[in-house]
Amino acid sequence: MSDVSLTDDQKILVNADADLFVAACPGAGKTRAMVARFLKRASEEDRRGIALVSFTNTAIDEVRTRCGDRSDVLSAPNFVGTFDAFLHRFIVTPLYVAFFKVHPRYVQSWSEVQGTKFRMATGKSADVDLEWFDFDDQLRATLDMGRVDRNFGNVEAREKLRGLRLEAEQRAAQVLRSLLQAGTVSCDTARFLAEIWISNDKYRPILGGLLRSRFAEIIVDEVQDCGREELLILEFLRGLGIRMVTVGDLDQAIYEFRSATPTKVLEFGTTLPLQPMLIENWRSSPAICAFNNSLRSRTMIERPVGDTAELGTPIYLVTYAKPDEILPSALSISKQYEVHTDELVLLAHRRKDALRAAGMAASGELGSNRVAAVADAGLKLRSAETDAVARRDAVRRVEKAILAVLADGGDLRFKSIEGACAELGIDERRLREVSVRMAVSLAAQGKTRSQFANEVRAYFRGVQWAELNVVEPELNGLGKLLQAPTEEVWNSISNCGRLPVQCSTVHGVKGREFKGVGIVIPKSLKPNEESGRTLLDDWEHGHDSESRRVLYVAGSRAKELLMVFVHQQHREQVARILEGSAVPIVQLKV
């Protein structure tokens, strides 16, 4: 990349010879500048490497693409990957193998593993979830009643659980030990283990020696998404003399569910000697920048300077009563501004709201039925507009269905998909291929639930199981294992066709941009448990909150056209907010 193509502010990021914390608005060209720095520094170092980490695979894929023909810099001693991948590879795995005598297999969350829930004698209630417990450095569990799911049971069931706290904590500790001994580790647990080992006087020097000899500098993209454990790791690396280059936007901190703490990130950033700002937005139109600025909680104000800087398109505020009214309106407005369907995306905080707006059911609404999983995966895989996360989740549900059949009653409760494959001797790549082939070969449209269930069972009987490196299973219990879904679940699948536009959660498109964006504000807005305020209350009265920042990230994905689809119950409040912030809007009702 030519240094001439960079602005003066971007050149500060590229050429700084000290630790720095860069605040950058969306569309400020931070990725271009970071890649330029990465290529420059990788060329300057003879022995040690440069690490460039971010928090999403999308962001990392973009970095790899922008490295162009410099594929040499993507291999050792350099590293380009997610923060989790960095943590797993260079901090957790080396000591995990020493502790547990098994190579770890990482899963995104415990929800991907069957054996992370257990029953307690609490009456009519759901299972107790491992996610409700904290653990200390001896792996002793402490139940946090504040995390207990609201659907767990009634007041009596919760009181019984409280009374059985000690037993529940003992059970949780046993479950965690079983998981770790099996080599299954969630991302949260990996951070927990990293914190333990970095804080331990015995193991800290071991890790320090490994990391100091490997890396000269770490470039952290989206630093605002760091939680306590990530900040601890960055402090640790900085203490080793590894140069620290951090870039982010605190108003884009949307990972509080993963303990991201933007205020702590700001405190960390102020300790770094250089703190430049990138406020020129090369992506969005003036109206979209005005929308974004109305949602900012910080002092930085973005300024449109790119090809869309003279565009006069307003923000469309569209009122709807039912979710199925959103898509026709989005298509109509987009056509008016020559935004093609492949340049348009519908976004929502919750996946099910985005899918409903696009005319599709969410996988989580389908229950645990394996036949439904196959039908749902086929629908999502055949649609080019389904986002990568939805496709991955759908395929993994099919993989679990196949493993359940092959296990033939075997206990896979404590196994991830990877761990189950290892135990059954199955090639993971082949399992994914068979899962995808099964899903796309069987179409649910125009069939009854019983007809489709029979097709799934027939497909199972015809699979060449040798492809998975397993002995031909007997398949005597297919009727029980592959039952037809309920009528309600089946209707939600079979009535869906190909998605006409892309749809996603806001988290799923972080780091991406689109010519047109439709944001869905649903009827149900969950109040914050502590403040009692909704997203719109925070937006109107200037309170910083994650839900407000999520909306900010959604709006900042748009380049030319931004449509806000708000349920009729909230129209007046949203209109008042936008007009009070001098955001140019056109109001429509569908």
Which of 300, 317, 330, 319 is closest to 584 using CA atoms? 317
Say what the pLDDT of residue 497 is.
54
Say what the pLDDT of residue 545 is.
92
Say what the pLDDT of residue 295 is.
96
Within 13 Å, how many C-alpha atoms sit on residue 589's CB side?
7
* β-strand partners of 348: 505
Alpha-carbon distance 26 to 293, whole Å?
A: 11
The string of DSSP letters for 293-361 reads HHH--SS---EE-STTTT----EEEEEESSGGGHHHHHHHHHHHTT--GGGEEEEESSHHHHHHHTT--
Given a contact cutoff of 8 angstroms between Cβ atoms, the answer to whether 143 and 165 are in contact is yes
- Helical H runs in 470-521? 478-481, 487-494
What's the whole-number mean pLDDT along residues 334-359?
A: 92
Say what the pLDDT of residue 287 is.
98
Binding residues: 24-31
Domains, the chain, ranges and CATH?
8-91+190-278 (3.40.50.300), 105-182 (no CATH), 286-360+500-589 (3.40.50.300), 370-495 (no CATH)
Alpha-carbon distance 322 to 508, whole Å?
A: 24
Alpha-carbon distance 589 to 575, whole Å?
A: 13
| Higher pLDDT pick, 16 / 423 | 16
pLDDT in tens, 305-332: 999 999 999 999 999 999 989 999 999 9
Which of 289, 408, 427, 409 is closest to 417 using CA atoms? 427
| Higher pLDDT pick, 112 / 185 | 185
- Asked whether the predicted pLDDT for residue 379 surpasses 60, the reply is yes
pLDDT in tens, 193-245: 999 999 999 999 999 999 999 999 999 999 999 988 999 999 999 999 999 99
Binding residues for ATP: 24-31
- Asked whether the predicted pLDDT for residue 4 surpasses 60, the reply is no
Map tokens 């009070």 to a residue: 580
Alpha-carbon distance 363 to 498, whole Å?
A: 15
CA torsion sign, 147 to 149 to 150 to 153?
negative
Question: Range with the lowest mean pLDDT among 448-452, 507-511, 550-554, 567-571?
Answer: 507-511
Residues whose CB is less than 8 angstroms from the CB of residue 26 and which lie 6 or more positions away in sequence, other chains included:
249, 252, 281, 283, 284, 292, 302, 553, 556, 557
| For the chain, percent of residues with pLDDT exceeding 90 | 67
pLDDT in tens, 19-56: 999 999 999 999 999 999 999 999 999 899 999 999 88
Residues whose CB is less than 8 angstroms from the CB of residue 569 and which lie 6 or more positions away in sequence, other chains included:
523
- Asked whether the predicted pLDDT for residue 440 surpasses 90, the reply is yes
What's the whole-number mean pLDDT along residues 502-526?
A: 92
Structure tokens at 2: 């030519």
Say what the pLDDT of residue 2 is.
42
Instruction: Return the beta strands (E) in 179-330 as ranges.
Output: 184-186, 215-220, 243-248, 277-278, 280-281, 303-304, 315-320
